[in-house]
Amino acid sequence: MSANPSTQGQAETGARPFSLRLSARDLLRVAIFAVIFIVATYVIGMLGIISPLVWLLIVPLQAIVGGVTVLLFLTRVRHAGMLTLFGVVVAMFYLVGGNTLLSSTGIVGLGLVAELILWAGRYRSKWAMIWAYTVFGLSFFTPFLPLLVDRTAYLASSNFTDMGKAYVHASDTLLSVPVISLLACIVLASSFLGGVFGSAILGKHFVRAGLA
C-alpha cells in the first residue's frame, strides 16, 4: 500500500479531502465494502457454530479478516464522511440482523472516532489507516457490551441460580469485568494486527492486481 495514493483518486472524483459531499460513486463504494466486510466476517463467524468456545476464539480472527477489507476500503476513501457512513450502515445492518441497540450505537461511535483519526492523517497516512481500523475493529467486541453494562440483570435470571454452585461460580468468573475487559484488549490487539496484516496484504496482492 502506498502512503500517498491520492492524486489519481482526487482527479477521479474531483473531491477535496475535507468535503462532506458524497457522490453516487462514493455511496456505491461504501455499500460494496460494507457488504464485503459483513460477508467476510460472517463466513468466518459461522465456524463459531461448531462450539461456543470456538466462537470466542473466532472473534479475534474476525477482527483480522475485517482488517483486509477495511484497509482496502480506506485506500479508496478520498474525503470526510465515508468511514462514518460505513460505520452507520454496518451498525444498521447488524441491528436488523439481531444486534443490540447498545452494540449498534457503539459501532457508530467507533466509526466516528476512526474517522477523526483518518482526518488527522489527512486521509492519506498509512498509519492513520491502521490506527483507524484498530479503533473500528473494536466493533467486534460490541456484542459483549450488554454483558458489561447490565451484568447483574443478566446474572439474575433464575436459570443461573438453578444449576448449582459450579455453574454460578463459572458464570460469575466468566462474566466478570476483568474477563470481559481482557476480551476487549484481545480484540483491540487483533484489530491492530488486522490493520497491519491488511496493509501487508494490500502490498502483496491488491496493489499488484491494480485493485488498490
Nearer to another protein, 70 or 132 (CB): 70
Concatenated DSSP letters of 11-72: HHH---TT--PPPHHHHHHHHHHHHHHHHHHHHHHHGGGG-HHHHHHHHHHHHHHHHHHHHH
Contact residues for another protein, defined by CB under 8 A:
22-25, 27-28, 30-32, 34-36, 39-40, 43-44, 47, 50-57, 61, 64-65, 68-69, 72, 81, 85, 88-89, 92-93, 95-101, 143, 146-147, 150, 153-154, 156-159, 163-164, 166-167, 169-171, 174-175, 197, 201, 205-206, 209, 211
Take residue 187 and report the three cell numbers written for it: 480484540
Residue (of 121, 110, 33, 119) closest to 70 by Cα position: 33
Residue (of 109, 173, 198, 182) closest to 144 by Cα position: 182
Nearer to another protein, 68 or 77 (CB): 68
Nearer to another protein, 35 or 184 (CB): 35
Question: In the complex, what is the shortest distance from the CB of residue 142 to another protein, in angstroms, rounded to a whole number?
Answer: 12
Question: In the complex, what is the shortest distance from the CB of residue 138 to another protein, in angstroms, rounded to a whole number?
Answer: 19
Nearer to another protein, 38 or 135 (CB): 38
Does residue 74 contact residue 195 with C-beta atoms inside 8 Å? no
What's the CA gap between 199 and 184, in Å, rounded? 22
Nearer to another protein, 50 or 185 (CB): 50
Question: In the complex, what is the shortest distance from the CB of residue 151 to another protein, in angstroms, rounded to a whole number?
Answer: 9
H runs (alpha helix) in the chain: 7-13, 24-46, 52-75, 82-96, 101-120, 126-136, 145-149, 151-155, 158-162, 164-174, 177-201
Question: In the complex, what is the shortest distance from the CB of residue 120 to another protein, in angstroms, rounded to a whole number?
Answer: 23
Question: In the complex, what is the shortest distance from the CB of residue 153 to another protein, in angstroms, rounded to a whole number?
Answer: 3
Question: In the complex, what is the shortest distance from the CB of residue 37 to another protein, in angstroms, rounded to a whole number?
Answer: 10
Nearer to another protein, 23 or 125 (CB): 23
